[in-house]
Amino acid sequence: MSEAELARRAADRIEAWIAAVDAEWCTLGVPPRDRRAWAVALEEDLDESADAGADVGDLLVDDVAGFAHDLALANGFQPVAEPRDRADGTPSAPSGGLPRAAVIGAALVGGVLGACVAWWVVYPLGLQSLGEVSDLAAAVVLDTTAVVVTLVGVVAGVRWRLRGHPALGVGTDGRVVLGVLAGGAVATGPVVLLSRATAYSTWSPVLLLEAGVVAACCAAGIAVTTRSGRSG
């Protein structure tokens, strides 16, 4: 077998092994951006060692799950749970659920961003309409629209933060959305009252306060629905 063929086979083995490590990182909840960066660095290290004459079989450890877990810790990432093995010896997904602090933080950030969109788009258009038709129904529609825009920001923030997370399956994803909707429904009343009390002010502290109310209610809703899903 030629040296070129040996080099190609070694490169294929390294690529397949790194793909297996990346799958373990995904199971542990490592964000995609970190996984890509770690995979590139790992491939460079392995290629350098192979070029220096090291045997590829010695470089690629058999305990892929343990290696991925240890490297994640070395890079400062705290996995959701320790890797466990199934009866057939293959690693199973961690039993930990959603990282609640990350969910709540993402909900708050997404809510603030959604409120900024409402501030720059919804309120200017809505207040112009209120000047022509100043009644309670129009005010409720305006505030409800602003809340919906903020909710979209909350959902987008949570989805972005937990992209690739193993706990965010179809069932959990539905519970997150349910929590957001429940929180948004609870927040609508206080936000409408606050808007009326401030004469629909677009002063940034007022809007941020309204966004905080919505995001906090959504975060509480997510915490309740995801906890219920795990205990059920």
Could you write out the DSSP letters of every residue in 167-230? T-SHHHHHHHHHHHHHHHHHHHHHHHHHHHHTTS---HHHHHHHHHHHHHHHHHHHHHHHHHHH
CA 216/CA 197 separation, integer angstroms: 20
What confidence score (pLDDT) does residue 110 get? 79
pLDDT at 131: 56
Segment among 65-69, 98-102, 186-190 with least mean pLDDT: 98-102
In the 8-state DSSP scheme, what is residue 88?
A: T
Nearest to 111 by CA among 77, 156, 81: 156
Q: How does pLDDT run across 166-180, given as a tens digit for each residue?
A: 555 445 556 777 777
The per-residue pLDDT for 94 is 43
Assess whether pLDDT exceeds 70 at residue 93: no
Q: What is the pLDDT of residue 37?
A: 93
Residues above pLDDT 70, as percent of the chain: 72
What is the pLDDT at residue 208? 72
Percent of the chain with pLDDT strictly greater than 90: 6
pLDDT digits (tens, 9 = 90+) for 133-159: 556 666 677 777 877 887 788 778 777
Quickly state the pLDDT bin for 230 (edges 50, 70, 90): very low
**Mind listing the pLDDT tens digit for each residue in 52-86?**
888 888 888 888 988 998 898 888 887 665 554 44
pLDDT band at 215 (very low <50, low <70, confident <90, very high): confident
Q: Tell me which of 146 and 229 has the higher pLDDT.
A: 146
- Whole-model pTM? 0.47
Instruction: Identify the pLDDT of residue 213.
Output: 81
The predicted pLDDT at position 10 comes to 80
pLDDT of residue 112: 75
Whether residue 35 is predicted with pLDDT greater than 80 in this model: the reply is yes
Angle at 59 between CA 40 and CA 45, to 5 degrees: 30
pLDDT at residue 85, as a whole number:
46
**pLDDT value of residue 17:** 92
The amino acid at residue 58 is: D
DSSP 80: S
